[in-house]
Structure 1
Amino acid sequence: MITITNLHKKFADNQVLKGIDLTIGQGVLAILGPNGSGKTTLNKCILSMVYPDQGTIEIEGNNIANQWQYRENIDYLPQIANFPNTLTVLELIHMIKDLRNDKQKDHQPLVELFKLTPFLNKKLNKLSGGTKQKVNILLAFMFDNPILILDEPTTGLDPAAMILLKQLIIKEKQKGKTIIVTSHIMSFVEEISDQIIFILEGKIYFKGSIDELKETTKQDNFEHAIANLLIDSYA
């Protein structure tokens, strides 16, 4: 359980988060909103990659301020994975295992799932964007921790890889994990999510299920319902 209370964050003159209150339990929560709405900043606050100016974040009742050990229980897929280009895929996998102090973790099932065997000895700067993203997904799912944060996980994926990713997320959800996803692909969000929040200008504009959103906006189509939220916010 993640409990966020009155979270504020400002970068220079840009107030990115403006009093976020949110409770995140088991299942998949999709964080939606236009570019610059604060989605990635919220994720990074949970990870302590960004420190809020005000407010608290608690995980299982423990305040994460000035802590780091709690991150051992979180798997994270960043929006942009900046790994050393001179490493091979296999070297990167072993480096991450060393950093997480889990050298025995078996990466082979995910290698086979995403058909990465031909790329294991290739350097990262020789890979396509889609293949890099598959490696990024492998690293995020390899350690089987109770919290999973996925920031734009579909970037660069072909349709077949996107189906595999959906299946992975659903499998992890069935284990009782807390999964946070940000994505601009509404069809992807609709298939995997239990709850959604829509952030606009640093505030939560809607929180609930997709069915509740459709009922609120009187739209049968999920993408149209999201668009309706934007139209209403500008009215």
Structure 2
Amino acid sequence: MYKLEISSSEVSKIIKVIDDIAFQTNILSLNAAVEAAGAGDAGKGFAVVAEEVRNLAQRSAEAARETSVLIDGNVNLTKSAVRVSAEVGSALKKINSSVSKVKGLLDEISTASQEQVIAVGQIAQAVTQIDHVVQAQSGIAATTSQGANSVRSHCDDLKRITNDLISIVKKADKSLENTRQKQIGTAKAGEKHGQKAIAQQNHVPTASVEKKQLPGARSVSPNDIIPLDDF
């Protein structure tokens, strides 16, 4: 583009030179026409040639001006093209920079995606481990529940046995109490019978024997007849 701009400038200079030559040729043809007019009939042919040269110079000057206008337009277009090319180059540089940034972002996204894949894999492993732990805990809970039910059953059996033992002990206590009462009643009856026999031998009323102990007689207690300490 820069070379095209320089070339257009050179062509414009050449067109200007051509325009100057046409202007000088036009002046020379005018001078020739004046000289031909001064020569009279002898200069008529020369005057015709001078007129044609002048017309040719005018057409050359007009063509040079038109060409100059076109060249100027091309130069302006070339300058615009150069400016647009510069802007396009700047835009391409910005695009290249943006592409580099996008590439960097894509690399970061790729790295982050790989890290996320690794993290998801780790999470999946953790979930699997948690599932195994939950299953193990479920098994332990089931075993514990069975053990608790077994302990509860044993406790119920132990409670029933304890109640049976308490009932047996109460019955035994009641039986022992009845036996003791019977033994006490028997001992009292034996004591009264002994006192009555002693009174009959000594001709002493039974009431006196109960209140007054005979000389040489020994007091007899129920324990002497039936020991109660063993019960």
Question: How does the TM-score come out when normalised to structure 2?
Answer: 0.15
RCO comparison, higher one (Cα < 8 Å, 6+): 1
More strand by share: 1
Larger radius of gyration: 2
Question: How does the TM-score come out when normalised to structure 1?
Answer: 0.15
More helix by share: 2
